[in-house]
Structure 1
Amino acid sequence: MRRFRRRRLRLHRKVWLLWAALAAGWLGIWLAGRSLGPVVGTVAEMETRAAALELVNRVVAEEVVGAAAGEDLVRYKTDGAGNVTLLQVNTPAVNRLAARAVTAVERELRGLTARRFTLPLGELLGSPFLAHLGPRVPIQLKPVGAVTARVRQQFDAAGFNQTRHQVLLDLEVRVRVVVPLITREVQVTTTLPLAETVIAGRVPAQLWLGAGPGTVPILPGGGGVPPGGS
């Protein structure tokens, strides 16, 4: 009877020690995640932002830059003295390029669902001494929502008596970075110049967007923009 009681006590002690070890392990993981989580999340976010930005820039360079070079995106009309009097933006062509960029980026982002990479824990902790040490932590990228595109125009100074006119495409991408115990969303924005021209003299007072029958004054009153103005 005593022998049976001792065995039962030893069994209970082992079970208790096992539960204590499991609880201590979970507590250690929770404390580590709580203390190291912000650091790991920040570094992982930086790595994700760089990877996503590289992807977007590469896709845009491959799919859009060459196509933009072959399009007549902006036409300029001049007067008898050679001054530019009207900027005519080829809106359908610009919209086609924007749609092409969005489609290409979304196609590449869908491949991110299967893309994983790993970084040493020391590098995620931001330590230059431990950058290549420790277990490798898996990082997964997932696209969030749709890619958004916005076309805009910009005027800025390009030298004495000269103004640069640009048609710009802004692309915005949202990516979710998933690290053990951490999930964050990263917003990546990049700008692509679709067309660029340097205008000598005064900027024309009228801008035709190519989407309707009339023109739009660049400034209220249609007085034109002096060189270097915006």
Structure 2
Amino acid sequence: MKKLILLFLAFLSIFFILDMYLRPTIKNMSENKAKTIATEIIDQVVLEELSTINIDGQKLVNIEYDNSESISSVSTNAYFMNLIKTRISAAIQKKLSKLQVKTLEIPLGTLLGTEILNGRGPAIPVKISMSGSSMVEFSSQFSESGINQTKHQVYLDVNTKVTIIIPGHSSSSNIHTNIIISEIIIVGKVPNFYFK
């Protein structure tokens, strides 16, 4: 009976040592996989939605001139921008909600952490659960683009938080993506307060 208990304790000790040794590699590879999947989702959704919406810089930005042909105001079409934001946010959230259990196959050599065996050996399947949330905002930037020319860019800022769960551990990764959706060269003097 003592031998059986000692054998069980030895097996349990080896299991915990292996778990402590392998967990960082599994955690890092799981986080990288989650970031890759989330980035692919964001890129795909933004591309699909922007192609169906048919964005034109004139729809997003309105430039008004005064009597002396100087720019008096630069305004954005809030309705159109909110439409874009809502559609992209909903589509990203829909795809992120479909993330469930993924199987990550890690070569045994990679798990063991040796450089010579890295990427080699039979693939060990590791199940990871994923979930995510996303927030979409707009930002804009003015910059000088030449003599009496100003470049105005409107960005779509997508912030996504992806949570991965592996047995005995969970972690979150934040992914920030900036996409230019409009770029206009404004000819004429732009008031200095737009550059602040």
TM-score, scaled to structure 2: 0.82
Q: Is the 8 A contact 2:104 2:128 kept in 1?
A: yes
Please give the per-residue CA displacement for 1:91-139, whole angstroms capped at 9, x wherever unaligned. Answer: 1110111111110001101111144332324345484632132442324
Of 96, 117, 120, the residue aligned with 1:132 is 120
Q: Is the 8 A contact 2:56 2:182 kept in 1?
A: no
Cross-structure match for 2:11: 25
Cross-structure match for 1:42: 28
Decide whether aligned partners of structure 1 residues 162 and 80 sit closer, same or farther in structure 2, where only a CA change above 3 A counts: same
Query: Equivalent residues in 2 for 1:68-217 (5 A)?
Result: 68-69=54-55, 72-79=59-66, 82-123=69-110, 125=113, 127=115, 129-144=117-132, 146-203=133-190, 205=191
**Structure 1 CA distance for aligned equivalents of residues 102 and 16 of structure 2:** 27
Decide whether aligned partners of structure 1 residues 127 and 100 sit closer, same or farther in structure 2, where only a CA change above 3 A counts: farther
Deviation (angstroms), 1:44: 2.3
Q: Is the 8 A contact 2:109 2:120 kept in 1?
A: yes
Deviation (angstroms), 1:224: 4.0
CA RMSD of aligned residues (A): 2.7
Cross-structure match for 1:213: none
Unmatched segments (≥5 aa) in structure 1: 1-11, 206-222
Deviation (angstroms), 1:90: 0.2
What one-letter code is carried by the residue in structure 2 that aligns with 1:31?
Answer: I
1:59 aligns with 2:7: no
TM-score, scaled to structure 1: 0.71
**Structure 2 CA distance for aligned equivalents of residues 70 and 126 of structure 1:** 53
Decide whether aligned partners of structure 1 residues 126 and 34 sit closer, same or farther in structure 2, where only a CA change above 3 A counts: same
**Structure 2 CA distance for aligned equivalents of residues 112 and 93 of structure 1:** 29
Moved more, 98-107 or 50-59: 50-59
Decide whether aligned partners of structure 1 residues 63 and 57 sit closer, same or farther in structure 2, where only a CA change above 3 A counts: same
Name the structure where strand makes up a greater proportion of residues.
2
Decide whether aligned partners of structure 1 residues 68 and 132 sit closer, same or farther in structure 2, where only a CA change above 3 A counts: farther
Q: Is the 8 A contact 1:33 1:181 kept in 2?
A: no
**Structure 1 CA distance for aligned equivalents of residues 62 and 115 of structure 2:** 54
What one-letter code is carried by the residue in structure 2 that aligns with 1:21?
Answer: L
Q: Which one has the largest radius of gyration?
A: 1
Please give the per-residue CA displacement for 1:15-50, whole angstroms capped at 9, x wherever unaligned. Answer: x33332332222122222223322332232122212
Please give the per-residue CA displacement for 1:34-87, whole angstroms capped at 9, x wherever unaligned. Answer: 233223322321222122111111111112344152581111123466543321
**Structure 2 CA distance for aligned equivalents of residues 130 and 198 of structure 1:** 50
